[in-house]
Chains A and B, each alone.
Chain A
C-alpha cells in the first residue's frame, strides 16, 4: 500500500473535482463525497502508517519539467516515518472536522463550495506531506495557501473576511518569497532538489556551511510565514474570519503546522547549519511568549486560540532549532489533536451564542456540558498538566531547552501565560451567569461526535512519551538521533508553573466575573493598550503597505503618466506644432506660389551658374 501512497492525496482531489464538475448542485452529496474521500484517505493513511512502523520506506520520482541540459526537474512522493505520522494526523483531523462541519455549516449558502475547498485543502496538505523534493513541496505549499485564502474568505460578502483572506495570502507569500529564493539557492549549490540527496550531500560535506546557512534561513522565511512566526505572524489572528471548522483544521491543526513540518523535513540540512538553528530557536522562543501575551487580553475566543496556536508553533520551532526535532514533531501531533478539539469547542460555543466575544458569553457550561468537559480537558492538555498529551511533549521541549537559559526562561513563562489565558477562556465562557443572548438550536450529533473522538488522543496520545517506554518517538522519527530528554525536575517545575497560571486565572476570573481583571487592566493601562493593539505590528505593516509601497507606486504611476507619456505626447505635439507653423506658408494664393516658384528657379539657376561665372 505504501508504494501507492499517492492515492491518499488523490482521493480528496477526486472528491473536489467531482464536486466542481457538477455535484455542487447537491450540497449534501458534496459534503458526503468529501467525507467519504477523506475517510478512505484516513484509512489508507493508517494502513501505510502500520507498514512504515514495520520498516517500509518508499520514494518515487517523476519528471515534471525536462531541461535542455542536465537533470530534469522532478516531482515525487516518499513515505517515511515523518510522512506517515503527518498523513495520519492530517487525514484523521480533517475527517473529524468535515463531520463537524456537516452540522456547523448546515444551511450555509456556500455549503457545497465549502466542502469542495475543504477537499482541495486536504489534498494539498496531504500532497505537501508526501512530497519528496523541495519543488513539489513548494507547489503544494502554495496550494494550501490558496485553500487557506479561499476558506478564510468563505463569507466573502463580509469585507473583513475578504480583507483577512487577502492579508493571509500576501503575508505568507512574503515568506514564500524567501522560501523560493532558498530553494534556488540550494539548487545551485547542490544541483538537486531531492531532499534525500540534499541530506546526503550535506552529510558528506559537499555544501559549504555558509551556503547551507543562507539557504536554510531563506527556507525558514517560508516556514515562518506559514507557521505565523514573528514577524510574519500578523495574518493568523485575522484568519479567524473564516468559519470555525476551517480555523480548526487549517489555522490550528494542519496548515500552520506545515512550517514546523518543513523544518523537520529539512532537519538533516538544518542541523548542519548552527547559525540557522539558533535563529530558528530564537524566533520560535520569542514568538511563543510574544503571542501568549497577546492571548491574555483578547476578548475574541477564536483569537485567543489563534494566539495560542502561534505560541505553540513557536514552541515547536524552538524545539527544532534546539535540535529536538522529534520532540517538536511530537508536540505538533499532540497539538493538532487538542487544538483542533479546542477550536471545535469554540465553534460549538459560537454556534450557541452567535458571537465570538467572550464578554457576551458566560455560563454556557449548563447548555453544553460536553463542550465544557472537552474544552477543559483540552485546556489542561495545552497547559501541560500531567498526564494529558500536552504535558509529555511540552516537557520534552523544555528538557531540550535546559541548556539555554534564556529560551528556557521564555518557555517557562509561556507555560505560565498559556495556562492563564486558557483558563481565562474557560471561566469567561462557561462559568457564572449568562452575560448575553443564548440561542440554543440544539447540538447535532455531527458536532458532538468529533469532540468525543478527539478527547481520546487529547488524553492519551502523549502517553507514548512516558519515559519508561524509552523514547519510541525519537527512535521512529529520527533514528540514530538523541533520545528524548525527559527531565523529572523540569517536569515538576513546569507543572508548578502551569498550576500557578491556572491559579492566577482563577483568582481573576473565577465565577465568570470580570471586575477584578478590569481593575488590573486599568492599573496596567499602558501595557494593556500595547497588547490590545498587538504591539502595533499591524500598524507598521499597514504603514508599509498603504504608505510606503502605495506611495512608491503612486510615484511610478505619475512618472508614467506625466514624464514618459508627457515626452511621448510632447513629441506628438512638437510635430503638430511644427506643421502648424509651416502651414502658414500655404496662403492659398496661386500667385504667391508662383512667386515662390520664380524665386526658387532664379536661385537654383544662380546656384548652377555661379561656378561658371567664377570661372
Chain B
C-alpha cells in the first residue's frame, strides 16, 4: 500500500508531463486527465479501505521514508493518518469531479488539464507529507498552477483576482517560511521530520512567535478574518472547476496545516492562543454570513458562505485544547467539517456553474423562476443549499453537530453565536434559492436547457457522498475519532 500512496501522489504529475509531451493532443488531454485522476481516486479509496482503524493514532500509516537532503535533516517522508486521509480522499474525489465539470473546456485544453493535474499532485503531497521541508515544497508547488488557472481561464476580473490570490498566499508563505526556519533552528532535533519534531514538544521561548508566524501563513489559506478578502475575488473569477477546487481543497490546506503544524508541533503555544482562535472563528462565522447575505453575485455569495463555514473548523479546533471528551469531539468536528465543507461547497459551485453556463449571468436579481425550466438543476441546487445550511441527513450536520457539541462546554458564548448563525445561513441560502429558482418564470430564461447527462451524473456523485456521509457518518467517524482524540489529548497535556 505504500507504493499506492506514492503512486497516488505522483501519478497526476506524470499525467501532466504526458500531456505536455503530446503537442497536438487537445482532445486527448482531458482523457489523460480523467484517467489519471480516476486512478488516483481509485487508489485513494483503496487506501481509505485498507486504513487500519484500530492502529494507534499517533503514527501515520502507508509510510515511505527515504533519505533526501541528509545535511539538512530533510527526507522524503510521506504517510497518512486519520487527519490527512479524509482530505487526501477529498482531493482525489474533487479533482476527478473537476475534470468532469471542465469536460467542455475549449480554451487551451492541454495547458488547463496539465495544470489541474499539477495541482492535484501538490495538494496530495501537502496532505501526505510528514517532513516539513517536503510539505513546504508541495505547498508552494500548488501556487503557480493555481495562479495561471485563475488568471487565464477566469472571468472578467481574472487578472486582479489571480494577482490578489498570489500576493496574499505568497505573503503568507513568507511568514510561514520564517516560522518554519525559526522552528528548525531552535528545535532540539535538527530535522524536518514532523513525527520526531512532534514527539518532543517544542517549549522554547520563541514558541509564541513561531506559532504566530506559521499561523499567518495558514490563516491566509483558511481564510481567517481579516486575511480573507482574496477569497471572494478568486472564487468568483475562477472557472467553475477551479472554484470547486479552491473552496473544496485549497482552503482545507490551511485548516489541515494549522492542525498539523501549529497544533501538532507547538501544542503549548496553541493553548496560549486558543481563545484568540475561538474569537477569530466566531468573527469568521458571523461576519462571513452577514457579508454573504448582501451579495448580489451568486458566486460571491457562495464564496462568502465558505468563509463562514470555515469558521466552524477553526472553532472546533480552538476548543480541542480543552482535551477530554469535549476536546476530542470538537477536534473530530473540525476535521469532519473540512471534509463536509469541501464536498458541499464544491457542489454549490458546480450548481452555480451550471446556472452561469446557461444564463451567462451571475447577478441574482437578473435570474428568477428557473425551477420550471431546469428542474434537475433546481433540485441539485436546493439540496446543496440545504446541505450547506446544516440539514440533518447531510454531511454538514454531522460535522457542525460535533463542533457545537464539543465547543459548548469550552466556549459557551461562542457556540451559541455559532449555532445562532445557522439561522442566518438558512436565511441567505433559502433567500438565494427563492430569488433564483422560484417565482414566475421569466421570458428571457424560457429556453434554458436542464442539466445534460454528464452534468447530472457529476451532481449525483456529489449528492451521494453528501448524503452517504450525512446518514452514516461512521464512514468518516471511525477514521477520525482516534486521531482527533490523540491530537486533543496531546494539546491538553
Q: Which A residues lie at the B interface, using CB under 8 A?
A: 63-70, 72-73, 135, 138-140, 142-143, 146, 149, 153, 156-159, 161-163, 165-166, 169-170, 173-174, 177, 180-181, 184-185, 187-188, 545, 549-550, 552-554, 556-557, 560, 564-565, 568, 572
The reply on B86 being an interface residue by CB < 8 A is: no
The reply on B431 being an interface residue by CB < 8 A is: yes
10 A-B Cβ contacts within 8 A?
A68-B486, A140-B392, A162-B439, A173-B422, A177-B420, A545-B427, A553-B293, A556-B287, A557-B291, A564-B228
What 1/0 flags go to B419-437 for Cβ under 8 Å of A? 1101110110011011001
What 1/0 flags go to B98-127 for Cβ under 8 Å of A? 000000000000000000000000000000
Q: Which residues of B contact A157 (CB under 8 A)?
A: 369, 371-372, 438-441
Q: Which residues of B contact A146 (CB under 8 A)?
A: 386, 391
Docked Cα-Cα span, A180 to B408, in Å, equals 11
Of B196-204, B264-272, B357-365, B475-483, the one with at least 4 CB within 8 A of chain A: B475-483
In B348-385, the 8 Å CB interface with A consists of 369, 371-372
**Known A142-B393, A156-B439, A557-B294; 15 more pairs at CB < 8 Å:** A65-B477, A68-B331, A68-B486, A69-B489, A70-B328, A143-B392, A156-B371, A165-B434, A166-B433, A173-B426, A177-B419, A181-B416, A184-B408, A556-B291, A564-B226
A550 engages B293 (CB within 8 Å): yes
A69 engages B422 (CB within 8 Å): no
In B331-356, the 8 Å CB interface with A consists of 331-332
Determine the residue in chain A with the shortest Cβ distance to B230: A568
B392 engages A139 (CB within 8 Å): yes
B229 engages A63 (CB within 8 Å): no
In B450-493, the 8 Å CB interface with A consists of 473-474, 477-478, 480-486, 488-489
A68 engages B332 (CB within 8 Å): yes
The reply on B253 being an interface residue by CB < 8 A is: no
A68 engages B488 (CB within 8 Å): yes
Docked Cα-Cα span, A284 to B398, in Å, equals 33
A560 engages B426 (CB within 8 Å): no
Determine the residue in chain A with the shortest Cβ distance to B420: A177
The reply on B58 being an interface residue by CB < 8 A is: no
Q: Which residues of B contact A560 (CB under 8 A)?
A: 229, 287, 291
Docked Cα-Cα span, A187 to B325, in Å, equals 12
B434 engages A552 (CB within 8 Å): no
Q: Which residues of B contact A158 (CB under 8 A)?
A: 439-440
Q: Which residues of A contact B226 (CB under 8 A)?
A: 564
B290 engages A556 (CB within 8 Å): yes
User: Known: A64-B473, A553-B293. Contact between A162 and B438, CB under 8 A?
Assistant: yes
Q: Which residues of A contact B372 (CB under 8 A)?
A: 157
Docked Cα-Cα span, A188 to B291, in Å, equals 33
Determine the residue in chain A with the shortest Cβ distance to B476: A65
B419 smallest CB distance to A (angstroms): 6
The reply on B329 being an interface residue by CB < 8 A is: yes
User: Known: A146-B391, A153-B438. Contact between A177 and B423, CB under 8 A?
Assistant: yes
Q: Which B residues lie at the A interface, using CB under 8 A?
A: 164, 167, 226, 228-229, 287, 290-291, 293-295, 324-326, 328-329, 331-332, 369, 371-372, 386, 391-393, 397-398, 401-402, 404-405, 408-409, 415-416, 419-420, 422-424, 426-427, 430-431, 433-434, 437-441, 473-474, 477-478, 480-486, 488-489
B430 engages A170 (CB within 8 Å): yes
B473 engages A65 (CB within 8 Å): yes
Q: Which residues of A contact B332 (CB under 8 A)?
A: 67-68
Determine the residue in chain A with the shortest Cβ distance to B329: A67
Determine the residue in chain A with the shortest Cβ distance to B488: A68
B474 engages A564 (CB within 8 Å): no
Q: Which residues of B contact A177 (CB under 8 A)?
A: 419-420, 422-423
Docked Cα-Cα span, A499 to B167, in Å, equals 79
User: Which of B164, B228, B391: most chain A Cβ within 10 A?
Assistant: B391
Q: Which residues of A contact B473 (CB under 8 A)?
A: 64-65
Q: Which residues of A contact B486 (CB under 8 A)?
A: 68
Docked Cα-Cα span, A363 to B484, in Å, equals 70
Task: Pick the contact of A68: B164, B405, B415, B485 (CB < 8 A).
Answer: B485
B408 engages A553 (CB within 8 Å): no
B434 engages A64 (CB within 8 Å): no
Q: Which residues of A contact B419 (CB under 8 A)?
A: 177, 180-181
A70 engages B426 (CB within 8 Å): no
Docked Cα-Cα span, A91 to B435, in Å, equals 35
Determine the residue in chain A with the shortest Cβ distance to B82: A68
In order of increasing CB-CB distance, the 5 nearest A-B pairs are A68-B485, A162-B438, A68-B328, A139-B392, A556-B290
Docked Cα-Cα span, A73 to B401, in Å, equals 11
A569 smallest CB distance to B (angstroms): 9
A557 engages B402 (CB within 8 Å): no
Docked Cα-Cα span, A65 to B469, in Å, equals 11
A374 smallest CB distance to B (angstroms): 34
Docked Cα-Cα span, A343 to B404, in Å, equals 40
Determine the residue in chain B with the shortest Cβ distance to A156: B438
Docked Cα-Cα span, A553 to B308, in Å, equals 13
Task: Pick the contact of A557: B295, B393, B416 (CB < 8 A).
Answer: B295
B426 engages A553 (CB within 8 Å): no
Q: Which residues of B contact A549 (CB under 8 A)?
A: 293, 424, 427
Docked Cα-Cα span, A572 to B165, in Å, equals 13
User: Known: A143-B392, A170-B423, A554-B294. Contact between A568 and B405, CB under 8 A?
Assistant: no
Task: Pick the contact of A142: B287, B391, B415 (CB < 8 A).
Answer: B391
Q: Which residues of A contact B431 (CB under 8 A)?
A: 166
Q: Which residues of B contact A138 (CB under 8 A)?
A: 392
Docked Cα-Cα span, A391 to B422, in Å, equals 42
Determine the residue in chain A with the shortest Cβ distance to B336: A65
Docked Cα-Cα span, A545 to B405, in Å, equals 28
Docked Cα-Cα span, A139 to B392, in Å, equals 5
B406 smallest CB distance to A (angstroms): 9
Docked Cα-Cα span, A68 to B336, in Å, equals 13
Docked Cα-Cα span, A401 to B118, in Å, equals 73
Determine the residue in chain B with the shortest Cβ distance to A109: B372
Docked Cα-Cα span, A133 to B360, in Å, equals 48
User: Which of B167, B430, B440: most chain A Cβ within 10 A?
Assistant: B430
Determine the residue in chain B with the shortest Cβ distance to A554: B294
B164 smallest CB distance to A (angstroms): 7
Task: Pick the contact of A166: B434, B441, B477 (CB < 8 A).
Answer: B434
A614 smallest CB distance to B (angstroms): 39
Q: Which residues of A contact B391 (CB under 8 A)?
A: 142-143, 146
Task: Pick the contact of B408: A149, A173, A188 (CB < 8 A).
Answer: A188
Task: Pick the contact of B290: A67, A174, A181, A557 (CB < 8 A).
Answer: A557
User: Known: A556-B294, A557-B291. Contact between A163 and B434, CB under 8 A?
Assistant: yes
Docked Cα-Cα span, A72 to B332, in Å, equals 12
Docked Cα-Cα span, A181 to B295, in Å, equals 29
Determine the residue in chain B with the shortest Cβ distance to A24: B375
